[in-house]
Amino acid sequence: MTEHDPAPHVEPTIAGIRRRVADARTRRARVGLVPTMGALHEGHLALVRRARELADLVVVSIFVNPLQFGPAEDLDRYPRTFDADLSALAGLADVVFAPEVGEMYPNGPTQTRITGGEAAASFEGASRPGHFDGMLTVVAKLLNIVRPDVALFGQKDAQQVFLVRQMVADLDLPVSIEAVPTVREHDGLALSSRNRYLDPPARRAALTLSAALRDAAAAASRGAAAVLAAGRARVDAEPAVKLDYLAVVDPRTFRSVDDTHRGAATVLIAARVGTTRLIDNASIVIG
């Protein structure tokens, strides 16, 4: 930020953000929404910069959504860095929609939930039961509150992007979903709000995830089984990394492919490095 960058306007209420968007619409503005839970890093800012290219009014929501945290996950421990987030958004976003929990859920957790079906039950959904229902429910609410022309999500959460697209198609929501490529550190580590929990040895070990994806991608011409074997060999060589899953899925269905699969595929990895759980993925072409 420079001293000349205008701070975004902070809007804590649903009525207020609706008024602001309605006002922009009278000027025929295209509206872009970047939903976040704050603790912003360069990966989020890449979404906001892309929103700037696609929209005239850029809205960033900052809301730590209790609905998507399981009972064993520490909602209170989730990093909250609101002032730093606002500074990072100066000159990039026009409005920050930052509601309190009581504004979004005035009657407690919603009775109505969006469920993602089969594709929400596997991978992240299997490790974090209820997470995707909570995520889809709040994204549906945010889309309905802001009514953007375009909403942007990071490709790092590939299953989230798939499920949001599926919801938008299934419910005929009038918004286009833009996935923005994962931003990485110079050494390949995918940016994540959780990287702040990695001490130097854990950070070194965490590079195993992106290295496993590179090894996996290098085996793509030999089929899905070879892709998995190459990725697994890399993880097995690093005892500090406990693999949760490594999978090759069809990006059209998010189902695991078998060894006969040819064409586009996504390699998914999730692992624990110490107490920190990390995910990453890579798009490959098999065959």
Q: Which residue is nearest to ligand PAF (CB)?
A: 35
Catalytic residue among 4, 9, 41, 44: 44
Shortest CB 230 distance to ligand PAF, Å: 29
Catalytic residue list contains 186: no
On the CB side of 278, how many CA atoms lie within 13 Å of its CA?
A: 27
Name which of 249, 239, 245 is nearest 270 in CA terms.
245
Shortest CB 134 distance to ligand PAF, Å: 8
Taking every pair of Cα atoms in the chain, the longest distance, rounded to a whole number of angstroms, is: 59
Contacting residues toward ligand PAF, per CB under 6 A: 35-37, 65, 68, 135, 138-139, 157, 160
Cβ proximity to ligand PAF: between 68 and 210 the closer is 68
Residue 174: Cβ-neighbour burial (10 angstroms; 0-12, 13-18, 19+): exposed
Beta bridge partners of 243: 271
Give the number of other CB atoms < 10 A from CB of residue 51.
27
Cβ proximity to ligand PAF: between 46 and 224 the closer is 46
In total, the chain counts a number of residues equal to 287
Q: What's the CA gap between 110 and 227, in Å, rounded?
A: 41
Cβ proximity to ligand PAF: between 160 and 208 the closer is 160
241-249: strand order across its sheet: 241-249, 263-273, 276-286
Shortest CB 236 distance to ligand PAF, Å: 30
Shortest CB 82 distance to ligand PAF, Å: 15
Cβ proximity to ligand PAF: between 85 and 238 the closer is 85
Q: What's the CA gap between 245 and 251, in Å, rounded?
A: 17
Active site residues: 44
